[in-house]
Amino acid sequence: MREDLPDGVAELEREIIRERTQAGLAAARARGKLGGRPRVMDERKVKMAQSLL
């Protein structure tokens, strides 16, 4: 019984963190922000690289 209580609290905390993260990402998308790494190559560079293959 004692061992189950911290596990339950940790699971609840993870769920709260997940909900807040998803809400933050949705709010950022609503403001027009996109997450992730910026693109290194533009369309012209991609086409040039493909033509070299």
Contact 35, 43 (CB under 8 A): no
pLDDT recorded at residue 39: 86
Of the candidates 44, 25, 27, 49, the one whose C-alpha atom is nearest the C-alpha of residue 36 is: 25
* Residue range 35-49: mean pLDDT, rounded: 90
pLDDT recorded at residue 22: 97
pLDDT band at residue 13 using 50, 70 and 90 as cut-offs? very high
* Residue range 25-30: mean pLDDT, rounded: 95
pLDDT recorded at residue 1: 65
Q: Please give the angle made by the CA atoms of 24, 33 and 18, to the nearest 5 degrees.
A: 20
What is the enclosing helix (H) or strand (E) of 47?
A: helix 43-52
What is the enclosing helix (H) or strand (E) of 4?
A: helix 4-30
Model pTM? Answer: 0.61
Residue showing tokens 């933050």: 24
